[in-house]
Amino acid sequence: MPVPPPALQPLDTRRVTLTDRTLDAVREGIRSGTLVPGELYSVYRLAENLGVSRSPVRDALLRLAETGIVNFERNKGFRVVLPGPRELAEMIAVRISLEVSAARRAALNIGQDKENKLQSVYAAMEVATKNNDELTFMNEDQELHAVILKLAANSYVERVIETLRDATRLVGASTIKGTRDLRAVLIEHRPIVEAISAGDAKEAGRAMEAHLRATGRVLLADAVKRTGNDQDPDEIWGQLID
């Protein structure tokens, strides 16, 4: 039997983009760990929880299902799904192809960042690292990439990467608990922030690619271990990325 989802904040139904707002609420539930991977949830109860009809909830979940982050079970409900090794490698490949060029473009557009948002988000990541605050760190990490994508000024890429990051973040949280700590992840981001802030497009792209490749390798190894897959992570990586 599906369990009722944990409490999420009701939505403002006056907004015309109700599906988008529902999508944001579900994503936040996934990011915060409120919606737990593998648990069976009721679409009806989630709609009731959010204070909306089932239509925007179904539409939002269908959009997440397109990337494999959600699976439906007929007449039962839905589950949040951790991506398997190959799916994860495919996501990393897409992120590399889009985010490297976005970092270059962000460096060219950095003069438009009047509030120096990039530096302030990185500073927040540093504080979270000192406090060993994993949830805040993961949120600020995601925000940092979002700021870079916004500076790149391509809203379509923003939407694609946002969903892919939600999926890879599910695996990433487990690697922080095991194979690497917050400081290691923080240090990976420093060259990206410095290059973009300096307006160095070439170095920004190089630093972003290095970060995504390093992160992707760790995530893929973790996914292979978690699923008991006997395939060599290097083989999967080589087929899709190198």
Half-sphere exposure of 35 (CA within 13 A, CB side): 29
Q: Report d(CA 205, CA 101) in Å as an integer.
A: 6
User: Please, are residues 193 and 122 in contact by the beta-carbon 8 Å criterion?
Assistant: yes
- Residue whose C-alpha is closest to residue 174's, from 17, 18, 37, 39: 37
- Hey, what amino acid is at 119? Q
pTM summary value: 0.77
**Tens place of pLDDT per residue across the chain (242 aa):** 676 666 666 655 444 478 888 888 888 887 777 888 889 999 999 999 999 999 999 998 998 888 778 899 988 899 988 888 898 899 899 999 999 999 999 999 988 666 688 999 999 999 999 999 988 998 899 899 999 999 998 888 888 888 788 777 776 655 555 567 899 999 999 999 999 999 999 999 999 999 999 989 988 988 888 878 788 989 999 998 87
3-state secondary structure of 3: strand
Q: Report d(CA 186, CA 99) in Å as an integer.
A: 18
Q: How far is CA 37 from its chain centroid? A: 14
- Residue whose C-alpha is closest to residue 168's, from 77, 93, 227, 97: 93
User: Please, are residues 178 and 149 in contact by the beta-carbon 8 Å criterion?
Assistant: no
Compute how many other C-beta atoms are within 10 angstroms of the C-beta atom of residue 63: 18
CA dist 150 to 19, 40, 103, 135, 212, Å?
Answer: 21, 34, 10, 22, 18
Q: How far is CA 209 from its chain centroid? A: 16
Read off the tokens for 75.
């007449």
pLDDT score at 5: 66
Triad 55, 40, 66: Cα angle to 5°: 55
Q: Report d(CA 199, CA 31) in Å as an integer.
A: 31
